[in-house]
Amino acid sequence: MQEVRVFAPATVANVAVGFDILGFAINRPGDEIVARFNPDRKGLRITKITGTGDKKLPTEVEQNTAGVAAQRLLEHLGKAELGIDLEVHKRMPFGSGLGSSAASAAGAVVAVNELLGAPLSRESLLYFSVLGEQVADGSFHADNVAPSLVGGITLIRSNESLDVHKLPVPDGLRVAVVHPEIEILTRDARAVLSKTIELSLAIQQMGSLASFITALHTNDLPLLGRSLHDYVIEPQRKQLIKGFDDVKEAAMSRGALGCSISGAGPSVFALCDSGYLAQAVGQGMQDAFTAHGVSSQLYVSPINQTGVTILSSK
C-alpha cells in the first residue's frame, strides 16, 4: 500500500446538555485526508491544503492539527523517519461549530495508521487525534474528535483519561444542522463563559444530562426532547449568534425534539424523529436566519455511525 484516502465527518459537540463531554457525528460536511509514502525524503510533510483551508491553514506540521496528530502517532510507533506526505482537503468552513479541526486530526491519524498496516485500533488513535485538535483551540477535549473518529453518539466520562463510551442511537433519530455565515472561533466562544455555575442551574443541567442518556438507552424520543435544555452554556453563547432565539423558535414550532448550539457555534442543530421533519425544521431555521439578514447552509443527516471512512487505498 502506497496511498490512503479517508473521509472524516463533521460533528455536533456538547449536544445542549453535555458541555465538553457529548458529541455525535453527521454524514456531511467533512474533510478528506490523503497520506502517501514518499521514498525520496524523510519525515512527515504536508504537501497540499485545498478547499476552505487554502491559504488559511499552515502547512508546517507542528502548526497544523492534522500534522501534529499524525506526527505524534508516528513518533509513538517509532516511524518518525518515514517519508510520508499528507494532503488536507477541507470541505467545511472554519469557526463553524462543526468540528473542522477535529475532523482533520481524526482523518490524519486514520490515514497514516492505515498506510502503516493498521497497527493500532481506532480507539487507540483517539489520544493522538486530541493532541492534534489541541493545536486549534488550546484545550484537551474529545467531544468532537471521538465521534468523528469512531462515529455515533459518544460520552466522554473523563477528557483527562479519555474514558470514552458510545451510546445507543434511537430508531429514526435525525438531525438538521444549519450553519449561518458567521464565524466564531472556539477560543472566543470560551471567553464569554462564566467560571462559576449557580447550584440550581447545575442541578437542572445534571438532571437533563441523566435523562438524555436514559432516553438513548430506552429509545424514548419524547424523553429525549424534554431533556434537550441547556441551562448553562446556551444562555451565555447565544448572544454571539444573530437571530438565535428566532431560529430556535422556528425549529421547536415545527416539531423538533430539541434545538441548541452546535459546539462553540454559530451552527445550530435540531434533533427530530424523522428525516422528513428534519428537512422541514431545517428549512424553517434557515428562513429565520434569512429574516435576520444571515445566509446559511442546511445539512440533514442521520447520526453517522461509522466515523472516519476509508475512501480508497492503493
Which positions make up the binding site? 93-103
- Selected catalytic residue, list 87, 133, 154, 234: 133
If you search the block for the grid coordinates 502506497, which residue do you land on? Answer: 2
Q: How far from 209 is each of 126, 127, 192, 194, 313, CA to CA, in Å? A: 24, 25, 22, 20, 41
Residues 6+ apart with CB under 8 A from 71: 44, 61, 62, 80
| Cα distance between residue 3 and residue 314, in whole Å | 5
Give catalytic status of residue 186 as yes or no.
yes
Which positions make up the binding site for ATP? 93-103
| Cα distance between residue 187 and residue 236, in whole Å | 14
| Cα distance between residue 220 and residue 214, in whole Å | 8
Quote the crossing angle between the two packed helices 126-137 and 65-76, to the nearest 10°: 150
Q: Is 118 left (phi over 0), alpha (psi -120 to 50) or beta?
A: left
- Residue 39: DSSP 8-state: T
Q: How far from 306 is each of 65, 152, 286, CA to CA, in Å? A: 21, 7, 28
Contacts 24+ apart (CB under 8 A), 247-254: 247/178, 247/285, 247/288, 247/289, 249/288, 250/281, 250/284, 250/285, 250/287, 250/288, 251/176, 251/281, 251/284, 251/285, 253/284, 254/280, 254/281, 254/284
- Selected catalytic residue, list 186, 196, 214, 309: 186
Give catalytic status of residue 123 as yes or no.
no
Residue 274 CB: number of other CB atoms within 10 A? 13
Which residues are the active-site residues?
133, 186
